[in-house]
Amino acid sequence: MKKIAVYPGSFDPVTNGHIDLIKRALGIVDELVVAVVENPEKKPLFSVEERKKMLEEVTKDLENVRIDSFHGLLVNYAQKIGAKTIIRGLRAISDFEYEFQMALMNRKLNMEIETVFMMPSAKYSYLSSSMIKEVVSFAGSLCELVPKVVEERLKEKLAKK
């Protein structure tokens, strides 16, 4: 039986930290669905379609990665695509409390789906999409923080504002 996992997130924008987790998750599952969460509560810089397109571009050379989007409950989406595992990244202690609560709620909603927490590589442990947007808004260097295509899209997007 094929091991399918879902790696959900806003990916606004995708960072090298996200890509690091995607590559490492492929070492423990047969197929990884990277799913952009459609969250009406957040005001993303990029549309869902733009985020999906960037993810497709930066993962095009990775086998067994599929890009998708969803709204609603994560466990319902996971069940729909046949995923038995949710991959979540933990950068710091501050991430843990929220992620722990979400994992417990997801288990309550569907006991057949497990959450696996992965630590980023040390060089990405401080990296967040919010931080990337702040750095680029002040014309800071994004070298080694995001793929080149993402940096270009960020600069294009912010130039229009």
Instruction: Identify the active-site residue in 23, 53, 91, 157.
Output: 91
For residues 69 and 113, what is the distance between their CA atoms, to the nearest angstrom? 19
How far is C-alpha 37 from the geometric centre of its chain's CA atoms?
Answer: 9
Q: What H or E segment, with its residue span, contains residue 53?
A: helix 48-59
For residues 67 and 138, what is the distance between their CA atoms, to the nearest angstrom? 30
Q: Write out the two tokens for 118.
A: 């992965």
Task: Check if 23 is active-site.
Answer: no
Task: Check if 18 is active-site.
Answer: yes
Instruction: Identify the active-site residue in 42, 71, 148, 155.
Output: 42
Query: Cβ contacts of residue 104 below 8 Å, gap of 6+?
Result: none
Whether the Cβ atoms of residue 124 and residue 16 lie closer than 8 Å to each other: yes
Instruction: Identify the active-site residue in 51, 52, 129, 153.
Output: 129
| Residues involved in catalysis | 18, 42, 91, 129
